Amino acid sequence: MSLVIAAEEHRHDHGNSTEKLSLNQGEKWQIDNSLHLGMSNINKAVQAKLNDIHYDKFSSEQYLQLATQVDQQIAYLFEHCKLPPQADAQLHLLLAKIMRGSSMMKENKTPKQGAIFVIQALRDYPTYFSDMDWHGLDH
């Protein structure tokens, strides 16, 4: 299943794109196992390439491969989403940032900036979602 199809099938009304991530009445949003798995896999893929990205040793083809890995995990998350509507809406705000980063990595104009969008979303994730087994990026 393509990312676009998965996103369309899972589309909910999340308002306009100016919405910002927020907490659940001051608390982090609860997650399910599929969210932990998908986000952890994105995190691992980026972590493995972080130094090369940082030091501009990453080729256009490598950015494309990383974007493909990210897209596969996004599709997994859309397919296995089991969060309550409010938590799901917050997740979609986070995933939109990751999807934008993936798209930028594929365009070849600003692939490093795309990777930075994904990295920022990975750093935002534990701020808004309660994932006790999360291992953030080491850099």
What residue ranges do the domains of the chain occupy?
30-130
Residue recorded with tokens 């080729």? 59
pLDDT in tens, 93-107: 999 999 999 999 999
What is the phi/psi pair of residue 24, to 5°?
A: -90, 85
Find, among 129, 126, 46, 38, the residue nearest to 78 by Cα. 38
pLDDT score, position 19:
81
Contact at 8 Å (CB) between 111 and 56?
no
pLDDT in tens, 111-125: 999 999 999 999 999
pLDDT in tens, 50-83: 999 999 999 999 999 999 999 999 999 999 988 9
* pLDDT for 16 beyond 50: no
- Model's pTM, two decimal places? 0.85
For the chain, give the percent of residues with pLDDT over 90. 80
Which residues are within 8 A (CB) of 117 and not within 5 positions of it... i.e. 6 or more apart?
97, 98, 100, 101, 104
